[in-house]
A and B are shown apart, each in its own frame.
Chain A
Amino acid sequence: MENLLNQLPIGLSIGAVLLLIALGLTFTFGQMGVINMAHGEFIMVGAYTAYMLQDWAGTQAAAVALPVAFALAGAMGWVLERAAIRHFYGRPLDTLLLTWGVSLVLQQAARDIFGAPNVQVVAPTWLSGGVHIGGTVIPYNRLFIMALAAVCVVGIWLYMNRSAQGRRMRAVMQNRRLAACSGVATGRVDQLTFFIGSGLAGVAGVALTLIGPVGPSLGTYYIVDAFLVVVVGGLGQLRGAVLAALALGMLNSFAEFWTNASLAKVIVFAAIVAFLQLRPQGMFVLRSRALT
């Protein structure tokens, strides 16, 4: 029983990582219907940003790395949106393949710039150690990631529900054409959405450096799971993303506990297909009279 309880914080921290990664996707996928396969590479950009900053400024650079990675990954996302994706609206499957091409190029670029082997980012000293709860130790870096995820969620909630720009974003998400009729510059909203969504991937990348090595294929490990979070949570649904990320994280850690790592993935997949039998559009659905 005690071992079972130990899985709880593990599941929570897996969920937090998933949530950080999926947050950006809920926007780009949810609002704009863009399946951005290059999202994983924006995570990688964030992770390498932390690595570079550590090279220049030492291990205490983590705090600076977060905003820098946000800006850098966001800028790359913005460029991608302007240069390519905006020509593909209404063709979600084509954007998927297009952005996959982009992700291939970015990965190879990382391999050429930083080398194929993984690099290590040393966590700042104030994140070493952990809290003892019962029989388990929750490392500070895991707690930091959970806190970071919570801060991001609250920040985004405030942005979407309490700012004029966020209101426009929701309007475009709910009904793009009507929003355009009402004078919302949907193109500009799209740009901003993409900037924020990609920037969040950069933040997630910095967080990932705390729990593992950084390599050119970092993004590909997480991207599929992150998409599943969005599918389960429902498109563009903040609370859906939060709940789905935590649920998948928990399910993963408990399934791993009862079986093993490889079977756990299959169990999670089966659970998702079963869940979609009940709610084909995810946990939360934007109500609409549109047919599709």
Chain B
Amino acid sequence: MSRIMNDKLRGYAMFAAVSALLLVVAPLALPGFRLDELAKYLCFAIAALGIGLAWGQGGMLTLGQGVFFGLGGYAMGMYLKLHDAGGDLPDFMVWSGVEELPALWAPFRNPVIALAAVVVLPVTVAALLGALVFRQRVRGAYFAILSQALAAAFVILLVGQQGLTGGTNGLTNFYDFFGFELEAESTQRGLYFVTAVVLGVLYLLARQLVKSRFGRLLIAVRDGEDRVRFLGYNPATVKTITFAISAGMAGLAGALFVPVAGIISPSLLGVVPSLELVVAVAIGGRYALAGAILGAIVMNYGKTAFSEEWAGGWLYLQGALFIGVMTLAPKGAIGVYQQIKDAVARRRSVPAPHQEKSPASLKEEVPA
């Protein structure tokens, strides 16, 4: 009993420490430029959290999270573009010879609709795809490939519709963010705090979800979908809801990314960026939600730091890291940490106590 209490306390302490690090230490210690970078990593961490939920807890390997990130990002970007343009056409439309505002853009003049679309659009697309696909028991590798194909098609569509989406350049050159000047350092600082708080809140919500009855069902679906069906539940519903939630998170992440980075473009959303998010989750530790966040921050930091020195080297390192993690430590960094902790605990207590339920004791193989 006391052990469980201890674990719980330690969890709270960890969360408080990380919060303090992100909300107090980082803003004080980092210069503005680096803080901006960190804000970007936190956006990716939000998307990664969604992947952690869908893949780590639900067993759905989604390789198209960039699509939902993009839907959220473009919804936000479209509003900002229209707002900056006043009553006129956004600049890139003028350049590509569009005469009047496309009907698709019109609703995004309204900030409320645009902000709602940030979450509603990705959730709807994911729910629709999920309902169609999971109902027919398309799963595992098939689902992974379909989600990847969705990412590929989405990017090709964005690039192709130059006048509607800004093509390869995407949407950029934003100036005003709900009355704040985006260039100003205070705005960027504020955006950093917003992103960090959103990440924290979403993490707590996701954790609560995993601990709830629904979360147990989700893990059950991951470990034995057919058994869950035989027990009278409908795995398709559970999976669709989870997939939609993870898409909503990616949408929020994309919407935050737009003011933070000042751009949203197809090169951020395609097959490769979507896969990179999954890689980050795998390296951080897919079975723990915290692992997804850790992985996203560390991987993106590594990418920036390494690319500044030796651009090609990062790809080698990333590839090698990935091969290494998948072969030696499939549970990622958090899994390694758990193993070490368990080993230490075992050595300390000479007569073995009852087996503790820890993520490390999860099933070795997750059936596809």
Bound-state CA distance A42–B132 (Å) is 33
* B interface footprint on A101-126 (CB within 8 Å = 1, 0 otherwise): 11111011001100000000000000
User: Contact check: which of B138, B160, B368 meets A92 at CB < 8 Å?
Assistant: B368
* Contact between A101 and B326, CB atoms less than 8 A apart: yes
Bound-state CA distance A88–B326 (Å) is 9
* Contact between B140 and A224, CB atoms less than 8 A apart: no
* Contact between A263 and B136, CB atoms less than 8 A apart: no
* Contact between B141 and A92, CB atoms less than 8 A apart: yes
Q: How many residues of A contact B (CB 8 A)?
A: 45
* Contact between B312 and A111, CB atoms less than 8 A apart: yes
Counting CB contacts under 8 A, is B176 at the interface?
no
Counting CB contacts under 8 A, is B149 at the interface?
yes
Bound-state CA distance A266–B275 (Å) is 20
* Contact between B271 and A261, CB atoms less than 8 A apart: no
The DSSP consensus for interface residues of chain B is helix
Hey, which chain B residues are within 8 Å of A213, CB to CB?
A: none
- Given contacts A101-B320, A263-B160, A292-B226, A93 and B144 within 8 Å (CB-CB): yes
Hey, which chain B residues are within 8 Å of A188, CB to CB?
A: none
Chain B's closest residue to A269 (CB) is B153
Counting CB contacts under 8 A, is A96 at the interface?
yes
Hey, which chain B residues are within 8 Å of A93, CB to CB?
A: 61, 140-141, 144, 366, 368
Chain B's closest residue to A220 (CB) is B271
Counting CB contacts under 8 A, is B142 at the interface?
yes
Stretch of A61-69, A144-152, A236-244, A270-278 on the interface side = A270-278
Bound-state CA distance A237–B149 (Å) is 21
- Given contacts A108-B319, A273-B133, A291-B226, A97 and B145 within 8 Å (CB-CB): no
Kindly count the residue-residue contacts between A and B in the assembled complex, taking CB atoms under 8 Å apart: 127
* Contact between B149 and A262, CB atoms less than 8 A apart: no
* Contact between B327 and A84, CB atoms less than 8 A apart: yes
* A interface footprint on B137-159 (CB within 8 Å = 1, 0 otherwise): 11011101110111011001101
Hey, which chain B residues are within 8 Å of A111, CB to CB?
A: 312
* Contact between A224 and B141, CB atoms less than 8 A apart: no
Chain A's closest residue to B128 (CB) is A273
Bound-state CA distance A15–B321 (Å) is 36
Counting CB contacts under 8 A, is B278 at the interface?
yes
Bound-state CA distance A227–B143 (Å) is 11
Counting CB contacts under 8 A, is B282 at the interface?
yes
Among all A-B residue pairs, the 9 with the closest Cβ atoms:
A262-B160, A101-B322, A105-B319, A104-B319, A280-B136, A108-B315, A98-B326, A265-B153, A101-B319
